[in-house]
Structure 1
């Protein structure tokens, strides 16, 4: 999820969680609701107009968008359901899985509460339009999906025994979501193997930041695991850094593995705690208008920093890790990130339905467009199947010396500490 200063902007992934309403322009229904119910063709045109004004690609996927309008407004629609089907058909022409229409129920369900209390199985999913597959972006730590061992890039082939072939992202979300205490079975394909995961939906309270001091051969090291860029992430990160600074740590390992993203402003706020000056992220719309978020000389530490990333590090995680890498503020260790660099605006429509529209892409400070490309770590280290299984079976090993990627991060950090002026100054106090 991403929220900008200009309004509600969400990430391209669907979060399988029970939701609550958000506030914002267009979400309060009035006389216009009755109007759209009586005139479904107007709803079709409203969607066309929004795409026409704001869609990131001014060529509309190389199609004649005006002709599309004529085609769909020449039709007659006897009810809203026919209009909804036409809208979805129209949007498919853009070949953008992130630009999507939601009926009123779907729209209510995707208005995610960022307070940190969520109900569901705890995964984010997306639709790979090229392969026509439902793909796991990342499981959220300490949720049923995470505990069961579901991984980023897993393909969901069945939900409760029903094939996902041809299934929309919204329909998949509907099937996976449900009341706490009920079960859903996901059939996952990983490589050439298929596995069934029976998950019990539950209420999940997520604390985005976990931190501790690790006593090592080079002295105290601060380990911070960031699970999600929620509304509380910035303050929790600030508290963690201040606490670790007070304990005179020599350096930091920031763990962004399996962090599917969250609020844009949270990623910018956290980046400012590590980067003192310069651009953090730029967003570019189809007119080429760039909105740059800058550091503001408020960094909390200049000590050596190593960041752990993997294929489940997406969206806001990539904003943060890309900024740290471009500014040479941190070394990145792990595997290539997910590659989600598009920004969606989500708005309510006149009849209570909703529309998510890709309006911009974001770039790292050096101008890298990471969409579909991801961010490559400075030092790549893959987990073996055996190591991954060991960490899944005992999550307490994550971020310890029983974790091979953490080991590598510590090795790199030790080298950085040895040559860092900031840690040498600390030693003389």
Structure 2
């Protein structure tokens, strides 16, 4: 079974507060046996999909057969009744990433992957343990980013309304709105509550930006990947090919605050950097479901350093885990978010949609990073003052004033020296010399 053909998404059910959704758009719309005049058919269809595909055969210790009897025994007078019942039914799985989307929410999810959205520029999920709404990361150059909202902040109020018990879709419906209108978010950061009044805007997203950087070691390529949307692989390929034409000696790939996206996007991009080796394997309730590997078509074999942080999630972790385990790159920064789940997203007969957790993924060495994340080879945490400087002027991200980037350039210099600065005739994984770990800094 090829994952790249199944409309699979990975991640924290990250939702762009602009249009719903995560991770992606390779959505597989199946013709479902659905009678629009019978809301009970929708309830049964959702139950059947979970029964056939859910990652845990015990359904997280829930008697799924009893759930069917309970919910199909109810009367339903409208689709709204069915929608409410479906959400109640899915809540019993205690899995915030398996979720139902009404037609509007499902349409929003599809719109999100087109590269343009309207909102404040936040990527949200529901924390698995606390059930609170958590910020995965703000999108650069958006109202949320400029206001200073950070990854791992909790949203506790939206325009004064408590978010306790609120799921991600409900939050998105409250936060979204017409461009030019305002929304106030109350954030919990540690023990401090902060109010942010944000103006909604239309946001155009280009997932990749790149540039050539002059350094004492020579010219290097800097590539920043913001999310794994449907156009990310093409933009990444164009970036690498452009920098190769300029004869760079090595690369810094910046995955910080990248919340993830399409599974096939992470695989395609990994193949641009890896000549050989496993990229990712996925495991469902029956065991290993699929294994994806490099295809001997790497675009470059030059030394590579990857920047990661707590906002690097899902597809970012697949890519960075593959590069780390295959000793193709040195990872610098802080521990990643820790989201190792795969969802299948499919349309239902009435235009609604369902995201189902069908598998977990493992890095090439067999690591299950869910809830743990990936530990960088070189730990370097930015102080709050340093983060503030970068937020206020994003042109400093990936500049010498960005301490993590500066460290990446330093390590890349060592990697280039270790390789002799010469490109091998055939692309092979770079030999990684891991620097001594720098203790994490906390201020």
Identify whether the pair has TM-score above 0.5, normalized to the shorter chain: yes
Following TM superposition, by how much is the alpha carbon of 1:423 offset from its aligned partner in structure 2, in angstroms?
3.4
**Aligned position for 2:178:** 179
**Aligned position for 1:80:** 79
**Aligned position for 1:233:** 232
Q: Does structure 2 conserve the Cα–Cα contact (< 8 Å) formed by 1:339 and 1:371?
A: yes
**Aligned position for 1:397:** 396
Query: For residues 400 and 25 of structure 1, what CA distance do their matches in structure 2 show?
Result: 40
Q: Does structure 1 conserve the Cα–Cα contact (< 8 Å) formed by 2:31 and 2:348?
A: no
**Aligned position for 2:5:** 5
Following TM superposition, by how much is the alpha carbon of 1:351 offset from its aligned partner in structure 2, in angstroms?
2.6
Q: TM-score by structure 2 length?
A: 0.89
**Aligned position for 1:15:** 16
**Aligned position for 1:347:** 346
Q: Does structure 1 conserve the Cα–Cα contact (< 8 Å) formed by 2:28 and 2:345?
A: no
Does residue 366 of structure 2 align to residue 372 of structure 1? no
**Aligned position for 1:274:** 273
Q: How does 1:259-408 map to 2 (within 5 A)?
A: 259-408=258-407
User: Deviations 1:185-231 (Å, cap 9, x if unpaired)?
Assistant: 11111112111111211111122211112211212121111112222
Change in 2 beyond 3 A, CA 1:416/1:24? closer
User: Deviations 1:357-408 (Å, cap 9, x if unpaired)?
Assistant: 1111111111111111111100111111111111111111111110111111
Q: Does structure 2 conserve the Cα–Cα contact (< 8 Å) formed by 1:251 and 1:423?
A: no
Query: For residues 307 and 15 of structure 1, what CA distance do their matches in structure 2 show?
Result: 24
**Aligned position for 1:159:** 158
Q: Does structure 2 conserve the Cα–Cα contact (< 8 Å) formed by 1:4 and 1:264?
A: yes
**Aligned position for 1:56:** 55
**Aligned position for 2:145:** 146
| Segment drifting more, 402-411 vs 238-247 | 238-247
Instruction: Provide the secondary structure at the position in 2 that maps to 1:412.
Output: helix
Change in 2 beyond 3 A, CA 1:386/1:351? same
Change in 2 beyond 3 A, CA 1:217/1:363? same
Does residue 167 of structure 2 align to residue 168 of structure 1? yes
Instruction: Provide the secondary structure at the position in 2 that maps to 1:212.
Output: strand
Change in 2 beyond 3 A, CA 1:233/1:81? closer
Following TM superposition, by how much is the alpha carbon of 1:239 offset from its aligned partner in structure 2, in angstroms?
2.0
Query: For residues 265 and 147 of structure 2, what CA distance do their matches in structure 1 show?
Result: 28
**Aligned position for 2:431:** none
Q: Does structure 1 conserve the Cα–Cα contact (< 8 Å) formed by 2:254 and 2:308?
A: yes
Q: TM-score by structure 1 length?
A: 0.92
| Segment drifting more, 394-403 vs 66-75 | 66-75
Following TM superposition, by how much is the alpha carbon of 1:60 offset from its aligned partner in structure 2, in angstroms?
0.3
Q: Does structure 2 conserve the Cα–Cα contact (< 8 Å) formed by 1:10 and 1:346?
A: no
Query: For residues 269 and 137 of structure 2, what CA distance do their matches in structure 1 show?
Result: 21
Following TM superposition, by how much is the alpha carbon of 1:25 offset from its aligned partner in structure 2, in angstroms?
5.5
What are the ranges of 5 or more consecutive residues in structure 2 without an aligned counterpart? 426-443
Change in 2 beyond 3 A, CA 1:170/1:398? same
**Aligned position for 2:251:** 252
User: Deviations 1:28-58 (Å, cap 9, x if unpaired)?
Assistant: 79xx76x34x322222211111110010111
Equivalences, count: 420
Instruction: Provide the secondary structure at the position in 1 that maps to 2:120.
Output: strand
Instruction: Provide the secondary structure at the position in 2 that maps to 1:106.
Output: helix
Following TM superposition, by how much is the alpha carbon of 1:425 offset from its aligned partner in structure 2, in angstroms?
7.0
Query: For residues 15 and 66 of structure 2, what CA distance do their matches in structure 1 show?
Result: 31
